[in-house]
């Protein structure tokens, strides 16, 4: 009898522990919406997955998550490969050698195969290992997947799910649970915030807001108190909004919370329980001036971008007007993908038309060394001939839509990019490929422009072996180092080449979502990291355009789901700080007709440039060298048509008295605007300015 009582007590103890064990992954039922805790692993060629909440099918609560499949890049036309990668972006703390279980409910329209896994890898981290995985099949009915796992050391773990498909469709997820002892007691109340606008972009005239979604899973009325807090990029709190909700049992509410934000910029918005504590949910949003309309020939800003409706909408809103194709759109332009079978070409007219419909011009990269399998049997000379035929067909086909072609990216780099050695090992041999490509382009479209992409010394070596007339434009992947452009600019002038492009502005930056930064990368981050990176970008862009460069392309605006350090986007499709900074710079400087250095302004403390835009506006930009100014005093009264901005396009206060004073200067940056006819007077006024330095 005593033994039986002991067994019953043991079972009661187990049941009690099971009932008290909690879901370690907050909002696993998606009742608080889709926020920073979730990530689509990639934007494939279909663009960012528009994850939605579905009230028509679920396992518990009010909603499930509906995730559309995304078509993969580098596939043939018509594209037949679909699938999705969906995962957590927030780690769950797992204790050393403790037993846990991941469980999730899944369904799809038809039978499809997938993989469920637990990993220590954060977003963009390919170095960590998978702790546990299982392969499964999913169908029309909801099915629950379970995956036990154990961590060898106390660490943060992430869950993920991949589904493969040969047709378009969706994956539904619900009730994601990570718990010890295989059970959990779901929290009675769940809440989260989300933004329902593409790219989380708001423009002047529209009040920024978040949608607060809360769910009461209990059996009694719940009075829930939350605080929505707003922070600037530098960490300063700019707003705090209390919210109190009364929710019926087994019910939910959606509350639109307007944010008292007045300055343009990027903001981190958090949701906290009560008046403080750890954030339950987090989103980022940007408040910007609307992008200006700029004639294509004067549009200066481009990116290596995913051609898809969602991403083009966001990039257009940020002020980008050009797309460069490389790995981001390899299917459009890689020889190995366009002519997979000899003489049979795969055209992507719908992609090009989509880009044009969103107002974008395009630069196609013709990669000679992306050789189709069928062509690898031939000698270099024969492959060069066959490649020239391919180039001619490409230019002929896209003649009405694409006017700019570059023959190879970073042509000098034959060590790290070893595949280039299959075509050339030095610049003399590259010149042979370039001449073949140039002649093929011009035969197919005499009005097309050919860009030669290299660095200073390589340019000199190439032109030792071919006439300068074989390049209409010189392109320099200067990244964040404008000094690389100066010798090329001078060299181009001597060769009679009038136009210079920078197809690789690439100031790297970690995600603004701190939780999405892999652990091994967190060490370099400091409180001023994103501020400093924006400063670096401002200098790179101003100096590059100030040298007279016609086009700059940021690398990259595509690989979103892995938050590549060069990407402009977070894992949820919102912009990183650099993307918002690009938008501000585009509003100020896009449409520049001519640019010139102004060494007479602030020569001892700042560098200055004048940009004359196509819309009859002139901008004078001052970048301060060491100490930052807190104000400026000018000897003349301020013209009412002049206005000065900070680097996010917020106007500086100006007071007239004896002369005029500009106050509140920050970020070591001033951009003053005037009508072009008044630009000389503005320059003279700034030349006489005295700066009060911090």
- Of these ranges, 86-95, 309-318, 324-333, 433-442, the one predicted with the greatest mean pLDDT is 433-442
Q: Tell me, yes or no, whether 586 and 604 share the same domain.
A: no
Q: Return the pLDDT at 17.
A: 32
pLDDT at 404 over 80: yes
Instruction: Check pLDDT > 90 for residue 149.
Output: yes
Q: Tell which wins on pLDDT, 422 or 106.
A: 106
Cα angle, residue 242 at apex, residues 237 and 243 outer, rounded to 5° = 140
pLDDT score of 511: 87
The residue among 165, 186, 207 that closes a domain is: 186
Across the range 139-151, mean pLDDT stands at: 95
Nearest Cα to 269, choosing from 321, 210, 320, 199?
210
CB-side exposure of 667: number of CA atoms within 13 Å?
25
pLDDT of residue 21 exceeding 70, the answer is: no
Residues 211 and 168 in one domain: no
- How would residue 63 be classed by pLDDT, with cut points 50, 70 and 90? very high
Can you tell me the mean pLDDT for 142-167?
92
User: Which band of pLDDT confidence, cut at 50, 70 and 90, is reported for residue 286?
Assistant: very high
> Both 260 and 310 in a single domain?
no
pLDDT at position 16 is 32
Query: 615-646, pLDDT tens digit by residue?
Result: 999 999 999 988 888 899 999 999 999 999 99
Residue 5 has pLDDT above 50, yes or no: no
654-693 pLDDT tens trace: 999 888 999 999 999 999 999 999 999 999 999 999 998 8
Q: How far apart are CA 214 and CA 12, in angstroms?
A: 33
Please report, rounded to a whole number, the percentage of residues in the chain having pLDDT higher than 70. Answer: 90
Q: Are strands 592-597 and 654-657 parallel, antiparallel or unpaired?
A: unpaired
pLDDT of residue 153: 86
Q: What is the rounded CA–CA span in Å between residue 66 and residue 46?
A: 16
Considering the domain architecture, whether residues 373 and 504 belong to the same structural domain is answered as: yes
pLDDT band at 401 (very low <50, low <70, confident <90, very high): very high
Instruction: Answer yes or no: are the C-beta atoms of 215 and 174 closer than 8 Å.
Output: no
Q: Is the pLDDT of residue 159 over 90?
A: yes
pLDDT of residue 74: 57
Out of 462-466, 507-511, 524-528, 646-650, least confident range: 524-528
Reported as a pLDDT band with limits 50, 70 and 90, residue 516 is confident
**Could you tell me where the beta strands, DSSP code E, fall in 638-679?**
643-645, 654-657, 659-663, 669-675
Write down the pLDDT at residue 19.
32
User: What proportions of the chain, in percent to the nearest 5, are helix, strand and coil?
Assistant: 25, 35, 40
Task: Give the domain range for residue 617.
Answer: 595-693
| pLDDT of res. 520 | 63
pLDDT given at position 265: 97
**In terms of domains, do 120 and 248 share one?**
no
**pLDDT (mean) for 6-22:** 36
Over 90: is that where the pLDDT of 478 sits?
no
Does the pLDDT at position 15 exceed 70? no
- Model confidence at 126: pLDDT above 70: no
Question: Domain holding 313: CATH number?
Answer: 3.20.20.80
- Asked if residue 355 and residue 270 are part of one domain, the reply reads no
The answer to whether 587 touches 319, Cβ cutoff 8 Å, is yes
Highest mean pLDDT among 55-64, 150-159, 409-418: 55-64
- Same-domain status, 565 and 655: no
Give pLDDT, residue 344.
95
Q: Is the pLDDT of residue 455 over 70?
A: yes
Q: Residue 537's closest CA among 595, 620, 606, 478?
A: 478
Q: Under a CB-based contact definition with an 8 Å cutoff, are residues 140 and 109 in contact?
A: yes
CATH number of the domain residue 253 falls in: 2.60.40.2550
Tokens 């606008």 correspond to: 197
Residues 381 and 328 in one domain: yes
Q: Which residues of 560-574 are buried (b: 16+ CB within 10 A; e: fewer)?
A: bbbbbebbbbbbbbb
Do residue 612 and residue 583 come from a single domain?
Answer: no
What CATH number does residue 138 fall under? 2.60.120.260
676 and 553 share one domain: no
| Confidence tier at 9 by pLDDT (50, 70, 90) | very low
Residue with tokens 């954030």: 279
Average model confidence (pLDDT) across the chain: 89
- If one counts the domains in the chain, the total is 4
Residues 458 and 523 in one domain: yes
| Residues 250 and 263 grouped into a single domain | yes
Per residue, the 3-state secondary structure of 611-639, as one string, reads EEECCCEEEEEEEECCCCEEEEEECCCCC
Check: CB of residue 322 under 8 Å from CB of residue 301: yes
Higher model confidence: residue 166 or residue 286? 286
Give the residue, 645 or 601, on which the prediction is more confident.
Answer: 645
Which residue would you say has higher pLDDT here, 416 or 161? 161
Residue 558 confidence (pLDDT)? 77
CATH of the domain at 687: 2.60.40
Question: Of 288, 313, 338, at which residue does a domain stop?
Answer: 288
Average pLDDT over residues 544-564: 83
Residue 572 scores a pLDDT above 50: yes
Which of 216-230, 432-446, 593-607 has maximum average pLDDT?
432-446
33-47 average pLDDT score: 80
Domain boundary among 169, 186, 203: 186
What are the DSSP calls for 504-521, one per residue? EE------SSGGGS-GGG
Residue 460: φ, ψ to 5°: -60, -40
């Amino acid at each position: 009898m005593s033994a039986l009582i002991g067994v019953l007590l043991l079972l009661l103890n187990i049941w009690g522990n099971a009932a008290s064990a909690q879901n370690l992954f907050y909002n696993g039922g998606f009742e608080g919406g889709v926020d920073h805790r979730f990530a689509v692993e990639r934007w494939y060629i279909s663009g960012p997955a528009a994850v939605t909440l579905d009230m028509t099918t679920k396992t518990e609560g009010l909603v499930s998550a509906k995730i559309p499949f995304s078509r993969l890049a580098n596939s043939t036309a018509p594209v037949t490969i679909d699938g999705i990668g969906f995962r957590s972006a927030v780690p769950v703390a797992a204790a050393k050698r403790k037993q846990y279980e991941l469980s999730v409910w899944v369904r799809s329209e038809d039978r499809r195969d997938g993989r469920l896994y637990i990993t220590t890898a954060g977003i963009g981290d390919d170095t960590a290992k998978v702790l546990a995985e299982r392969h499964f099949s999913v169908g029309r009915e909801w099915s629950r997947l379970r995956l036990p796992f154990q961590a060898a050391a106390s660490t943060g773990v992430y869950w993920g799910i991949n589904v493969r498909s040969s047709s378009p469709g969706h994956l539904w997820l619900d009730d994601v649970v990570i718990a010890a002892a295989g059970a959990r007691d779901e929290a009675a109340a769940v809440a989260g915030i989300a933004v329902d606008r593409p790219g989380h972009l708001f423009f002047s005239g529209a009040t920024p807001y978040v949608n607060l979604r809360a769910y009461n899973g209990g059996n009694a009325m719940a009075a829930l108190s939350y605080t929505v807090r707003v922070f600037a990029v530098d960490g300063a709190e700019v707003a705090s909004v209390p919210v109190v909700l009364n929710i019926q049992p087994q019910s939910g509410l959606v509350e639109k919370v307007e944010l008292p934000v007045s300055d343009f910029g990027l903001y981190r918005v958090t949701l906290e329980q009560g008046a403080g504590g750890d954030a339950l949910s987090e989103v980022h949003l940007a408040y910007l001036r609307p992008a200006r309309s700029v004639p294509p020939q004067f549009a200066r800003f481009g990116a290596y971008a995913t051609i898809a409706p969602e991403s083009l909408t966001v990039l257009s809103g940020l002020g980008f007007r050009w797309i460069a194709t490389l790995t981001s759109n390899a299917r459009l332009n890689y020889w190995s993908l366009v002519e997979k079978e000899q003489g049979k070409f795969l055209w992507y007219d719908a992609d090009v038309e989509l880009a044009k419909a969103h107002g974008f011009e395009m630069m196609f990269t013709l990669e000679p060394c992306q050789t189709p399998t069928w062509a690898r049997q031939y000698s270099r000379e024969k492959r060069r001939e066959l490649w020239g035929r391919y180039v001619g067909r490409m230019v002929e086909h896209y003649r009405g839509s694409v006017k700019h072609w570059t023959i190879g990216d970073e042509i000098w780099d034959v060590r790290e990019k070893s595949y280039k050695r299959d075509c050339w090992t030095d610049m003399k041999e590259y010149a042979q490929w370039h001449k073949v490509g140039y002649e093929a382009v011009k035969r197919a479209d005499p009005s097309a422009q050919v860009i030669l992409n290299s660095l200073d010394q390589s340019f000199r070596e190439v032109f030792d072996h071919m006439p300068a007339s074989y390049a209409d434009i010189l392109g320099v992947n200067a990244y964040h180092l404008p000094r690389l452009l100066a010798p090329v600019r001078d060299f181009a002038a001597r060769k009679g080449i009038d136009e210079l492009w920078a197809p690789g502005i690439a100031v790297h930056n970690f995600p603004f979502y701190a939780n999405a930064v892999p652990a091994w990368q967190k060490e370099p981050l400091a409180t001023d990291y994103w501020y400093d990176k924006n400063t670096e970008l401002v200098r790179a862009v101003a100096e590059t355009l100030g040298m007279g460069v016609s086009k700059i392309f940021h690398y990259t605006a595509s690989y979103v789901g892995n938050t590549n350090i060069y990407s402009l986007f977070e894992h949820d499709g919102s912009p990183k700080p650099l993307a918002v900074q690009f938008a501000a710079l585009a509003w100020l400087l896009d449409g520049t007709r001519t640019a010139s250095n102004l060494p007479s302004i602030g020569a001892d403390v700042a560098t200055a440039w004048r940009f004359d835009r196509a819309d009859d506006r002139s901008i004078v930009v001052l970048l301060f060298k060491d100490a930052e100014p807190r104000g400026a005093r000018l000897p003349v009264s301020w013209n009412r048509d002049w206005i000065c901005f900070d680097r996010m396009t917020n106007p500086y206060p100006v007071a007239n008295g004896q002369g005029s004073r500009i106050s509140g200067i920050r970020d070591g940056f001033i951009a003053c605007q005037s009508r072009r006819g008044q630009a000389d007077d503005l320059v003279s006024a700034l030349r006489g300015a005295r700066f009060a330095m911090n």
